[in-house]
Structure 1
Amino acid sequence: MTIPAEAEEAIKRFGISIEDYMLPVHGQIQILSEDGTILPDDQRGSSPGHQYPIPSDSELLEAYRRLVVGRRVNDQNSALVRQGRLAVYPSSHGQEACQVSAALCLREGDWMFPTYRDAVAVMTRGVDPVEAMTLFRGDWHGGYDPHEHNVGIQSTPLTTQLLHAVGVAHAAKLRGEDTVVLAMCGDGATSEGDFHEALNFAAVFHLPVVFFVQNNQYAISVPLAHQTVAPSLAHKAVGYGMAGERVDGNDMVALLAVLDRAVTLARSGSGPLLVEANTYRMQAHTNADDATRYRQQAEVEAWAAKDPLNRMRQYLRTTGVLTDDVESAFAGDAEDVAQQLRDGLSAEPILDPQELFRHVFTEPTPQLREQAAFLADELARDDQPREEH
């Protein structure tokens, strides 16, 4: 396989052969066992080209704090849907390790392009929780300024955000900026044409993009086996001329290690990479879905035993880093965010119908001006006192 010379040079600086780098490992990368203990080196799924140091205790403790907050966010938002404060919410309960790791692996100047299920990643990146939920309240806009934290607006179409991601990466490369773009999608998105176009464009133009596929086993009701017969989604990467990795998506230690290396490689000139995280959507696709129609309870219970929150808690407790006082403080942080969501989403929004016309064109067309004037006249008539008969 031929890859650009600058990519080969960047890869070799990490002591990796091109052959080892390009092909996914036979098994997935896993560092933390399901019972929260560190696996021996020969059981981590690594190969000579796929070696990962364990992140520091301080990094893992902060990641766990974010994990606790993320779980509380998911539970709170699900409750707000039942209360009618949110129109819909695609929960990432069980996938929070992927969400938090995605945000923590980036520098301040990097970009992240999330899917509709990545609210926890968006908040972990620094976006105000209430602003992050505005879209799911049923508002006409995404709720936050993408440029404030370099986070694209959450995308409801499956893969349009991947095209936006490679566009930003291409612009950054042309400008000579030190920017890495993390492009997030689910397993269902890999069946879309935009997925192919984004990966091919990124590879051909040698862009600093990390494609992060959260394989939660179902595209709404369609299982992965009905989408692809490839050995893994990570194997798709080599067809585009980029490296592919598979990682346990419920193992936060492995996620942080794998994503950190992927971002470091992309920043150093290796070109794009694809990371597949195997995880599970514990709850329904959204509140409008009935997951019992297409999956068995035994399957859900088997994945519940792999819960990323419990695994990290057990590991940090065993190492002595996580104490009762620290755990209590983290729970308090999570409750503060939940309270912020309750207060912000329970307040009635102040609506201005004229906003419909303000952000369509930089310079409004005559037709828009006419429509805006007509609406203003109608609103003025409604405000006038009515005569009593």
Structure 2
Amino acid sequence: MPFRCSARRLQLQRLPTPCNASRTVRAPWQCRGVASTANAEKVLFPGALNSEFTNTLEFLRPSKSKGAISTYRCLNQYGEVIDKSTGADTTDEEAIELYKNMVQLSIMDLLMFEAQRQGRLSFYMVSAGEEGISIGSASALHPSDVIFTQYRESGVYLQRGFTLAQFMNQLFANSSDNGLGRNMPVHYGSKELNIHTISSTLATQIPHAAGAAYALKLQNAGIVGRIGAPTAGEETTERVAVCFFGEGAASEGDFHSALNIAATRQVPCIFICRNNGYAISTPTSDQYRGDGIAARGAGYGIDTLRVDGNDIFAVRRAVKEARKLALEDGGRPVLVECMAYRVGHHSTSDDSFAYRQRVEVEDWKRRDNPITRLRKWMEGRGVWDEEKEKKLRSGTRKEVLRAFEEAEKQKKPNIKHAFTDVWEEITEEQRAHVSEMADILKRYPKEYDLEGYEGGAQGLDELLQKR
């Protein structure tokens, strides 16, 4: 098409009346690029609607700022309620149950870490110093809320009802494992508890959560039906997506993409960052120069709060309020940064004393941690004492060891599960792979001991016979 002809066509498509000449009253951002009056005090540029005019040339210099974002807490490190008017927002019975779960998580971590050192487990990650974040936040959510975790949120599973047997079955990848042995240890998942399976790849769960929250936004508005089958007796309620990650994961591009799309689409998602001071062997001083992760939430236009992760009551109250905000006006994202200290090693593959002083870790253990702080509060109210503590720890240790020993004795999943659950029916290509594997196992029985696998090699024959 000649240029003159195409230009003429473009001219015919123009609006007959300029926007600023229309008599119809429109919102300023629809028609104007700047303020309409000469003495306007605020800029109306589309990219910064609430910026005020100034004749002072001054750069924002975070390094010279006098103060950082404050950290919310309910209890001080001595277990004393700071604001008597609001209190701890819990009953004594509920607090005791939260405490029992934190102790159980702590004991399980200790025993499983020792089991890995004995060669009975291949891998493990502890939550020492962060028990209040996972258990406190999970206790403030609705059971139907959809959760995406990283790898240090065992407390979320525990608080939601994941049993010791389920933990151990997954760690041993035995025949009772929900994932049928397809994941490495501590990569838990539970469809029944509305918790997506953990992924090894760092930060991928953050954009997944933003996408799920957008689906929930449509569901809450009645645009689409319920996503996922409801649990037995579950009430109809508006749901949010909740995403856990560490401050190290916030250095990944996925974090920024997820927060941006969550903000622009206004989705009901709660982003919970565990800022424990270290990303594997990298301290926060080498990760960023800004004011933690909370400052980034404000940068994306997201409601943000920083909270003391050693204070389980502060975490609970923060997440409760965050959930209310996330469901306001059709949905909005909220960022909660929980400050903590990673007392344990990053994982059983890590020796943290290679990059930090042992005295630093021991000082944090003695000075403050979520379990000790809650215990001080309970003792101050006269609902806990040393005798109850000893009984709890002794009983919990026995329960964990019992579940551990039972899971260790079970056989590995049937080897047919290496091929199932990819397609509804195995493909011809898969059938060829199964046939080849079955042939190798039969020809070299001494090289492949299938005694420890449920069903031995029969499962492969079952797949081949299935049509």
TM-score scaled to structure 2, two decimals?
0.70
Q: Report matched runs for 1:206-221 at 5 Å.
A: 206-221=266-281
Q: How much is the aligned-residue C-alpha RMSD, in angstroms?
A: 2.7
Cα distance in structure 2, aligned partners of 1:137 and 1:146: 16
Confirm whether residue 346 of structure 1 aligns to residue 389 of structure 2: no
Q: Report matched runs for 1:1-389 at 5 Å.
A: 26-40=69-83, 54-57=88-91, 58-133=93-168, 136-137=171-172, 139-141=181-183, 146-176=190-220, 178-269=238-329, 271-304=332-365, 305-323=367-385, 326-327=388-389, 330-331=392-393, 334-335=396-397, 337-381=399-443
Contact 1:127–1:144 under 8 Å retained in 2 = no
In structure 2, the CA distance between the partners of 1:344 and 1:93, relative to structure 1 (3 Å rule), is farther
- Provide, for residues 201-235 of structure 1, a one-character-per-residue CA deviation record: whole Å limited to 9, x for no partner: 21111111110000110000111111111112111
User: Which letter does structure 2 place at the counterpart of 1:262?
Assistant: A
In structure 2, the CA distance between the partners of 1:133 and 1:195, relative to structure 1 (3 Å rule), is farther
Cα distance in structure 2, aligned partners of 1:130 and 1:225: 40
Cα distance in structure 2, aligned partners of 1:114 and 1:145: 9
Cα distance in structure 2, aligned partners of 1:234 and 1:281: 19
Q: Which has the higher contact order (CA 8 A, sep 6+)?
A: 1
CA deviation after TM superposition for structure 1 residue 368, in Å: 1.1
Contact 1:207–1:272 under 8 Å retained in 2 = yes
User: Which letter does structure 2 place at the counterpart of 1:216?
Assistant: N
In structure 2, the CA distance between the partners of 1:190 and 1:320, relative to structure 1 (3 Å rule), is same
- Provide, for residues 66-110 of structure 1, a one-character-per-residue CA deviation record: whole Å limited to 9, x for no partner: 111111111121122122222111111111111211221111111
Contact 1:129–1:340 under 8 Å retained in 2 = no
Name the structure where helix makes up a greater proportion of residues. Answer: 1
User: Which letter does structure 1 place at the counterpart of 2:320?
Assistant: D
CA deviation after TM superposition for structure 1 residue 121, in Å: 2.0
Structure 1 or 2, whichever has the larger Rg, is 2
- Structure 1 gap segments, 5+ residues each: 1-17, 19-23, 42-50, 385-389
Cα distance in structure 2, aligned partners of 1:241 and 1:134: 42
Cα distance in structure 2, aligned partners of 1:306 and 1:127: 28
In structure 2, the CA distance between the partners of 1:25 and 1:258, relative to structure 1 (3 Å rule), is farther
- Structure 2 gap segments, 5+ residues each: 1-49, 51-66, 174-180, 221-225, 227-237, 447-467
Cα distance in structure 2, aligned partners of 1:267 and 1:173: 9
**More divergent stretch after superposition (288-297 vs 322-331):** 322-331
Contact 2:81–2:87 under 8 Å retained in 1 = no
Cα distance in structure 2, aligned partners of 1:369 and 1:277: 49
- Provide, for residues 223-272 of structure 1, a one-character-per-residue CA deviation record: whole Å limited to 9, x for no partner: 11111111121111012111111111111121111112112222344511
Cα distance in structure 1, aligned partners of 2:170 and 2:368: 31
CA deviation after TM superposition for structure 1 residue 311, in Å: 1.0
- Provide, for residues 153-185 of structure 1, a one-character-per-residue CA deviation record: whole Å limited to 9, x for no partner: 122222111122222222122122611121000
Cα distance in structure 1, aligned partners of 2:164 and 2:151: 14
User: Which letter does structure 2 place at the counterpart of 1:113?
Assistant: F
User: Which letter does structure 1 place at the counterpart of 2:206?
Assistant: L
Cα distance in structure 1, aligned partners of 2:79 and 2:189: 38
User: Which letter does structure 2 place at the counterpart of 1:29?
Assistant: Y
Contact 2:189–2:198 under 8 Å retained in 1 = no
Describe the SS at the equivalent of 2:271.
strand
Aligned residues: 354
Contact 1:52–1:257 under 8 Å retained in 2 = no
**More divergent stretch after superposition (199-208 vs 144-153):** 144-153
Describe the SS at the equivalent of 2:192.
helix
CA deviation after TM superposition for structure 1 residue 123, in Å: 2.2
Describe the SS at the equivalent of 1:185.
strand
Q: Percent identity?
A: 31
In structure 2, the CA distance between the partners of 1:171 and 1:336, relative to structure 1 (3 Å rule), is farther
Describe the SS at the equivalent of 1:280.
coil
In structure 2, the CA distance between the partners of 1:247 and 1:285, relative to structure 1 (3 Å rule), is same
Cα distance in structure 2, aligned partners of 1:219 and 1:133: 26
In structure 2, the CA distance between the partners of 1:115 and 1:333, relative to structure 1 (3 Å rule), is farther
Cα distance in structure 1, aligned partners of 2:406 and 2:212: 32
Describe the SS at the equivalent of 1:148.
coil
Describe the SS at the equivalent of 1:271.
coil
- Provide, for residues 322-349 of structure 1, a one-character-per-residue CA deviation record: whole Å limited to 9, x for no partner: 2456545643663354134422442243
Contact 2:116–2:124 under 8 Å retained in 1 = yes
Describe the SS at the equivalent of 1:149.
coil
Cα distance in structure 1, aligned partners of 2:424 and 2:121: 31
Cα distance in structure 1, aligned partners of 2:399 and 2:299: 43
